[in-house]
């Protein structure tokens, strides 16, 4: 994995030059919950200014050409000025690529659910592991609590439609942040919740053949957590 991240960093620096402010690893890799069998690699980067469309497309091509050793790469690029968007950080490029996921290049932040990016930036500020440039705490703004809560509510609505064990784990992480002010990995948050529904979700994540929580149980925990996501 280190060689893969080093090559991604080298290509970021080659493509962006001195416009690259910083890059870091976030997601399960940074939160201590990485599992090579199911996890993606999550990388964020920030540039000093908005980039031309052709530069963004060339960057997506360059990063996609690196063979990913796990399910895939989720890479998000932000222009520094767009981190303070009142609706939440607005990406310049949202790239999903790799052997286990559908290739996706997003260039329009309003065309995709904004909650993913608000939450990921908030998590990165606390937990990200630098690849290039300063620590994300020196680059990323501290997002208003009301904004993060609003995006957590959006996320639970999305997970309510999606369902399954992952919805339960996402709810546990939302609740943990609300009550402790800290971002936990999904696994750590489920253990922190000490709830039988969360325990069943963890079991199903570890063993897909396990029964896992029922749809009614998923809806129950989403509802309980949602009622606590108040400003």
pLDDT in tens, the chain (231 residues): 789 999 999 999 999 999 999 999 997 777 776 665 667 889 999 999 999 999 999 999 999 999 998 889 999 999 999 999 999 999 999 999 999 999 999 999 999 999 999 999 999 999 999 999 999 999 999 999 999 999 999 999 999 998 899 999 999 999 999 999 999 998 899 999 999 999 999 898 888 888 889 999 999 999 999 999 887
Looking at residue 34, what is its pLDDT? 65
Residues 133 and 206 grouped into a single domain: no
Last residue of a domain, one of 94, 119, 138: 138
Residues 134 and 151 grouped into a single domain: no
Last residue of a domain, one of 93, 118, 138: 138
Domain extent, residue 166, equals 145-226
Looking at residue 38, what is its pLDDT? 67
CATH code at position 108: 3.30.460.10
194 Rama sector, left if φ>0, alpha if ψ -120 to 50, beta otherwise: left
For 160, phi and psi rounded to 5 degrees? -60, -35
For 138, phi and psi rounded to 5 degrees? -90, -10
Residues 103 and 119 grouped into a single domain: yes
CA pair distance 194, 159, nearest whole angstrom = 20
State both tokens at 72: 């895939």
- CB burial of residue 31 (10 Å; 0-12, 13-18, 19+): buried
Residues 169 and 104 grouped into a single domain: no
Looking at residue 65, what is its pLDDT? 96
Any domain includes 132:
yes
- Strands of the sheet containing 129-132, edge to edge, are 104-106, 93-97, 73-79, 41-47, 20-26, 129-132
What long-range pairs does 125-130 form, CB within 8 A, spacing at least 24? Answer: 126/182, 126/183, 127/26, 127/30, 127/31, 127/183, 128/24, 128/25, 128/26, 128/30, 128/44, 129/24, 129/25, 129/26, 129/29, 129/30, 130/22, 130/23, 130/24
Residues 165 and 123 grouped into a single domain: no
Residues 22 and 101 grouped into a single domain: yes
Any domain includes 231:
no
CA-nearest of 73, 34, 42, 25 to 187 is: 34
Residues 19 and 73 grouped into a single domain: yes
Looking at residue 35, what is its pLDDT? 64
């Amino acid at each position: 994995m280190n060689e893969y991240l080093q090559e991604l960093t080298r290509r970021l620096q080659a493509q962006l030059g001195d416009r690259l402010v910083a890059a870091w690893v976030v997601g399960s890799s940074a939160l201590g919950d990485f599992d090579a069998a199911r996890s993606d690699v999550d990388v964020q980067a920030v540039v000093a200014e908005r980039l031309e469309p052709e530069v963004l497309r060339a960057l997506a091509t360059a990063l996609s050409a690196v063979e990913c050793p796990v399910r895939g790469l989720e890479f998000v690029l932000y222009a520094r000025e767009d981190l303070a968007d009142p609706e939440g950080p607005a990406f310049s490029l949202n790239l999903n690529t790799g052997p286990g996921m559908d290739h996706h290049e997003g260039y329009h932040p309003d065309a995709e659910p904004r909650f993913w990016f608000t939450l990921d930036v908030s998590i990165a500020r606390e937990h990200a592991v630098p690849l290039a440039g300063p620590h994300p705490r020196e680059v990323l703004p501290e997002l208003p609590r009301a904004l993060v809560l609003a995006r957590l509510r959006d996320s639970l609505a999305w997970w309510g439609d999606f369902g399954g064990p992952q919805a339960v784990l996402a709810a546990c992480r939302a609740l943990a942040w609300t009550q402790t002010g800290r971002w936990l990995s999904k696994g750590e948050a489920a253990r922190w919740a000490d709830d039988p529904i969360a325990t069943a979700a963890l079991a199903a994540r570890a063993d897909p053949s396990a029964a896992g929580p029922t749809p009614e149980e998923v809806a129950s925990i989403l509802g309980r957590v949602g009622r606590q996501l108040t400003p």
